């Protein structure tokens, strides 16, 4: 959007795991924050009255009350002003009632306070960001309008006040209440971070309670939208008691998502103790205590060891060492303590008694609470960010056509121009509100979200031979060559890209039936690539996937679809698919995905394989895969419209400068996955001898009931949302199944289909399992056929968040196959 919006991947916690390795400390961290001399503007003269370093909290001028009848002339709607609810800065909040007797909150900002560009920009950002957020624990945004004296924002009413109001009455909260409220705050915060928003002013006064005593996070006056990976905000802002140390003392490196995590630690301490951890009467001393991390738990208050440990972990001065939000809610303070199903309204005035809540009930309540806060690992969220109007591209053209790019550039440039004009001193407030009401524009389909990034991609398209995202149906070979200057330019241009350009299920049209498996590789020798066109194999490069039969080459999706279709056709006809003995020689697949984390709306998708390697599939179509020895990695990029892969091998101690950003992100993904997601199962191992040519993810597709991974060695993996997995290898002839308890079983497809033709066994559990496996394989077949049908249909995908049905009904409880754009979620 503009200079006020920025971003960075929330770093994983530093807690060690069984698989901790030297790679975790092998890369310099450019964002390490150390104590520095605080900026002079923060501290006032000793004799001057102490005040926070924020203009928004300077001495207030009492604004006049708005009219008793507030009128939105643009919509011909009027509101009756009722009760005064509170104030902050230059804004006052009232309860209002519309003509339909609906009660709302109305935030009133006087126009006299909006004279400067800074004040206008702040209001613009608040409206723009808040209205795009939709979460059960975030205050709902209604609309904004103006009259001669004021700007009005209608919001969902929170009739039970704020947590600060409740604390003043109660003095402190019980730990069950603290658990309940903190989980909901974390849910809202995780949603914001997932969608690149930092709140930057989380505090009890900005956390409200709805009629059912559920948390509603509000006041986005200091919120910022992150723009690029690794970018840091440098504005000193926040509330003294809750402000993170890097905001005050590390302005050189700046701050990012971790400031909200710090505030959550302060909130948790305040709930269980009754006052903020660094509280003193003097603001300067508060800052000194924050800098020195000086706080203590009062001895006269009973506070659990788990609560103390969690607060200590969160209130870590180094932002890189703070736990992630999911690591916080996985802490024993939440998982081992009492969690109520809800908070009674009577808790506003007195401590509720939760002694009747059992451990089992608490576990169920915590699971329900996490789900309602959208914290479950398989839950997807969305943000109100529609696409810019697309331009019609001719058949056979590249997805990013010149005309399409020009259209998007025009729309985004116009939005930027309107914003800059609206925030100028002297410009009418109506222009600001009109611009702020417009949703964030993103490029159509797979495009970037910022005009600056779009310009980068356009520059690349003119210089580079290969497009950012290619659409050919298959890859014919893997070519290995040195990365020339053109490729270096492309990598530098795309390093800061955070926009999701992971290909959608249904790509734009082309004369020969374009599909979305742009990086599927036709089978070739594992160690020697068979290149039909000119091949230049340089020292240090490694060839690609495993061997395949001769004859017409199918990509892995089509090959597996053909195999499964033949199997179910035979099953329907009541005949044997193929003799099971014929497939006894087929190898069992040992390398597949153990765990993954999807941050494609910012950076890409990270994953760990059974052989101990860790990779990232970046949003710009490149991949990086780290060997199990944690010292070597391959960097893979696609060329020639996705028909060729270029693989370069490096070490973590020596690699090109242009890869610094991606290696830095690899470090974060690796630390997070290995510390939180990776498990030592019977099928995991460490292939430390393989330092080149590691297998990697070429494609992944988010579906309605499953996520599908296409591996470079022709393995297809289907991860179902019940946490079971089906892995197809040898073109679908070998099936590996992993249940939700990580138990693994392997069969040939011919064995499964032969078993399905036999009379049911007397073992009911085995019958149920066999039927479930057959149903899953049938669903996998339908998914693969849907991919093929979607590509031949050559229809254009919908915008982000679409759930377009492109398949047919499934059996055994599976719904229709559908394409769904990826959202950040964890596996």
3-state secondary structure of 677: helix
Q: In the structure encoding, which two tokens stand for residue 294, read together?
A: 């000086």
Per-residue CA distances from 448 to 387, 444, 445, 457 (Å): 10, 8, 9, 8
Phi-psi region of 535 (alpha: psi -120 to 50; beta: other; left: phi over 0): beta
What pLDDT is stored for residue 440 in this prediction?
Answer: 55
Q: Is-contact 823 709, C-beta < 8 A? A: no
Q: Which residues, in sequence order, are CB contacts of 44 under 8 Å at separation 6+?
A: 50, 51, 284
Task: Tell me which residues of the chain have a pLDDT lower than 50.
Answer: 1-22, 24-60, 384-409, 441-551, 794-827
> Rounded to an integer, what distance in angstroms lies between the CA atom of residue 136 and that of residue 217?
10
* Residue whose C-alpha is closest to residue 247's, from 222, 214, 280: 222
pLDDT in tens, 758-816: 887 778 888 888 899 999 999 999 999 888 777 665 444 333 333 333 233 333 334 44
Q: Which residues, in sequence order, are CB contacts of 421 under 8 Å at separation 6+?
A: 427, 431
Q: Is-contact 262 315, C-beta < 8 A? A: yes
CATH architecture type of domain 31-58+159-372: Orthogonal Bundle (1.10)
* Cα angle value 814/819/825 (rounded, 5°): 85
Q: How many CA atoms lie within 13 A of 784 on its CB side?
A: 26
Q: Is-contact 821 504, C-beta < 8 A? A: yes
> Rounded to an integer, what distance in angstroms lies between the CA atom of residue 136 and that of residue 216?
8
Active-site residue list: 201
What pLDDT is stored for residue 499 in this prediction?
Answer: 35
Strands across the sheet containing 734-738 = 697-702, 706-711, 716-720, 725-729, 734-738, 744-748
What pLDDT is stored for residue 722 in this prediction?
Answer: 80
pLDDT in tens, 379-405: 655 554 433 334 333 333 333 334 444
What pLDDT is stored for residue 434 in this prediction?
Answer: 72
> Rounded to an integer, what distance in angstroms lies between the CA atom of residue 515 and that of residue 521?
13
* Cα angle value 98/100/104 (rounded, 5°): 40
Q: In the structure encoding, which two tokens stand for residue 345, read together?
A: 């309204």
What pLDDT is stored for residue 501 in this prediction?
Answer: 30
The sign of the torsion formed by the CA atoms of 320, 326, 332, 338 equals positive
What pLDDT is stored for residue 226 in this prediction?
Answer: 81
DSSP 605-672: EEEEETTS-EEEEETTS-EEEE-TTSSEEEEEEEETTTTEEEEEEEETTB--GGGHHHHHHHHHHHHH
- CB environment 275-301: b (16+ within 10 A), e (fewer): ebbbbeeebbebbbbbbeeebeeeeee
Q: Which residues, in sequence order, are CB contacts of 148 under 8 Å at separation 6+?
A: 111
Phi-psi region of 598 (alpha: psi -120 to 50; beta: other; left: phi over 0): beta
323 φ/ψ angles, rounded to the nearest 5 degrees = -70, 155
What are the boundaries of each domain within the chain? Answer: 31-58+159-372
Helices 359-372, 175-194: axis angle to 10 degrees equals: 30
Per-residue CA distances from 724 to 135, 184, 744, 776 (Å): 28, 28, 10, 10
What pLDDT is stored for residue 584 in this prediction?
Answer: 83
DSSP 77-113: EEEEEEEEEEEETTEEEEEEEETT--EEEEEEEEGGG
Q: Is-contact 35 678, C-beta < 8 A? A: no
> Rounded to an integer, what distance in angstroms lies between the CA atom of residue 649 and that of residue 632?
7
What pLDDT is stored for residue 350 in this prediction?
Answer: 93
Task: Tell me the longest C-alpha to C-alpha distance in the chain.
Answer: 93
> Rounded to an integer, what distance in angstroms lies between the CA atom of residue 308 and that of residue 296?
10
Q: In the structure encoding, which two tokens stand for residue 683, read together?
A: 């099928």
């Amino acid at each position: 959007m503009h200079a006020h919006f920025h971003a960075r991947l929330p770093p994983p916690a530093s807690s060690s795991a069984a698989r901790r390795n030297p790679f975790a400390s092998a890369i310099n961290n450019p964002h390490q924050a150390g104590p520095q001399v605080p900026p002079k503007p923060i501290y006032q003269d000793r004799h001057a009255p102490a005040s926070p370093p924020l203009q928004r909290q300077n001495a207030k001028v009492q604004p006049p009350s708005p009219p008793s009848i507030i009128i939105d002339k643009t919509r011909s709607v009027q509101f009756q002003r009722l009760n005064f609810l509170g104030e902050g800065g230059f804004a006052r909040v009232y309860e209002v009632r519309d003509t339909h007797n609906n009660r709302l909150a109305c935030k009133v900002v006087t126009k006299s306070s909006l004279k400067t560009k800074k004040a206008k920009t702040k209001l613009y950002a608040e409206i723009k960001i808040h209205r795009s957020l939709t979460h059960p624990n975030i205050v709902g945004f209604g609309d904004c309008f103006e009259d001669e004296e004021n700007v009005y924002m209608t919001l969902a009413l929170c009739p039970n006040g704020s947590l600060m109001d409740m604390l003043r009455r109660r003095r402190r909260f019980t730990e069950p209440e603290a658990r309940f409220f903190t989980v909901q705050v974390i849910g809202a915060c995780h949603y914001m971070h997932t969608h690149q928003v930092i709140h930057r002013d989380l505090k009890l006064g900005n956390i409200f309670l709805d009629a059912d005593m559920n948390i509603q996070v509000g006041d986005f006056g200091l919120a910022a939208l992150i723009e690029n990976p690794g970018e840091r905000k440098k504005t000193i802002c926040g509330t003294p008691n809750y402000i993170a140390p890097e905001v005050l003392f590390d302005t050189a490196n700046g701050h990012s998502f971790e400031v909200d995590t710090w505030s959550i630690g302060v909130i948790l301490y305040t709930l269980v103790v009754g006052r903020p951890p660094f509280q003193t009467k003097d603001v300067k001393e508060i800052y000194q205590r924050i800098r020195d991390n000086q706080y203590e738990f009062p001895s006269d208050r009973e506070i659990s060891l788990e609560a103390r440990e969690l607060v200590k972990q969160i209130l870590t001065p180094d932002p890189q060492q703070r736990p992630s939000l999911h690591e916080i809610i996985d802490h024993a303070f939440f998982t081992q303590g009492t969690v109520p199903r809800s908070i009674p309204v009577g808790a506003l005035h007195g401590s509720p008694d939760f002694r009747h809540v059992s451990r089992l009930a608490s576990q169920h309540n915590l699971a329900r609470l996490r789900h309602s806060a959208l914290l479950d690992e398989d839950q997807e969220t969305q943000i109100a960010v529609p696409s810019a109007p697309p331009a019609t591209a001719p058949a056979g053209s590249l997805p990013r056509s010149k005309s399409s790019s020009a259209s998007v550039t025009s729309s985004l440039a116009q939005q930027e121009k309107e914003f800059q004009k609206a925030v100028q001193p002297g410009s009418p407030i109506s222009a600001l509100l009109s611009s702020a009401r417009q949703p964030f524009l993103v490029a159509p389909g797979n495009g970037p979200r910022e005009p600056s990034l779009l310009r980068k991609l356009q520059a690349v398209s003119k210089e580079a031979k290969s497009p950012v995202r290619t659409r050919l149906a298959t890859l014919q070979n893997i070519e290995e060559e040195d990365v020339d200057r053109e490729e270096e330019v492309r990598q530098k241009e795309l390093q800061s890209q955070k926009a999701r350009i992971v290909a959608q299920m249904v790509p734009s049209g082309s004369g020969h039936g374009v599909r979305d498996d742009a990086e599927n590789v036709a089978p070739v020798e594992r160690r020697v690539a068979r290149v039909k066109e000119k091949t230049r194999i340089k020292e240090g490069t490694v060839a690609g996937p495993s061997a395949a039969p001769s004859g017409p080459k199918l990509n892995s999706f089509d090959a597996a679809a053909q195999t499964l279709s033949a199997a179910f056709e035979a099953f329907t006809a009541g005949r044997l698919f193929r003799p099971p003995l014929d497939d006894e020689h087929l190898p069992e697949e040992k390398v597949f995905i153990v765990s993954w984390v999807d941050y494609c709306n910012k950076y890409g998708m990270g994953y760990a394989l059974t052989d101990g390697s860790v990779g990232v599939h970046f949003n710009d179509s490149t991949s990086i895969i780290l060997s199990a020895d944690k010292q070597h990695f391959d960097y893979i990029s696609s060329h020639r419209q996705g028909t060729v892969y270029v693989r370069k091998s490096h070490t973590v101690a020596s690699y090109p400068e242009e890869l610094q950003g991606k290696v830095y992100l690899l470090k974060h993904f690796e630390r997070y996955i290995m510390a939180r997601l990776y498990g030592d199962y019977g099928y995991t191992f460490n292939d430390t001898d393989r330092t080149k040519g590691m297998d990697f993810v070429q494609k992944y597709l988010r579906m309605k009931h499953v996520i599908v991974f296409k591996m470079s060695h022709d393995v297809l993996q289907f991860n179902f949302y019940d946490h079971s997995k089906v892995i197809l290898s040898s073109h679908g002839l070998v099936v590996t199944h992993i249940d939700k308890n990580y138990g693994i079983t392997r069969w040939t497809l011919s064995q499964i289909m032969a078993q399905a033709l036999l009379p049911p066994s007397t073992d009911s559990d085995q019958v149920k399992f066999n039927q479930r496996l057959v149903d899953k394989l049938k669903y996998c077949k339908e998914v693969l056929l849907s991919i093929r049908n979607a590509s031949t249909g050559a229809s254009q995908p919908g915008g982000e968040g679409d759930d377009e049905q492109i398949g047919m009904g499934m059996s055994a409880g599976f719904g229709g196959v559908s394409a769904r754009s990826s959202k950040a979620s964890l596996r």
